[in-house]
Amino acid sequence: MVKKLFPEAMARLYSRVFVCRVCSTKIRADPAKVRLGKVKCRNCKSRALRPKRKPLM
């Protein structure tokens, strides 16, 4: 496995990525839109999203 992630990889994997609380589907969306409830899970139509957590290094 990769020991150290490059900043561009971190940005791609974690910035603006949210996870559905119901079915754990990952969704890339604008955080402002998520806060306003405009983003729905494409899998289960839920609006319960949380930001994807970055692993501790």
Task: Tokens for 33, please give them.
Answer: 């839109």
Question: Residue 6 CB, nearest distance to Zn ion (Å)?
Answer: 29
Based on CB atoms, which residue is closest to Zn ion, 11 or 24? 24
- SS (HEC) of the chain: CCCCCCHHHHHHHHCCEEEECCCCCEEECCHHHHHCCCCCCCCCCCCCEEECCCCCC
Residues binding Zn ion (CB under 5 A): 20, 22-23, 25, 41, 43-44, 46
Based on CB atoms, which residue is closest to Zn ion, 11 or 44? 44
Based on CB atoms, which residue is closest to Zn ion, 13 or 48? 48
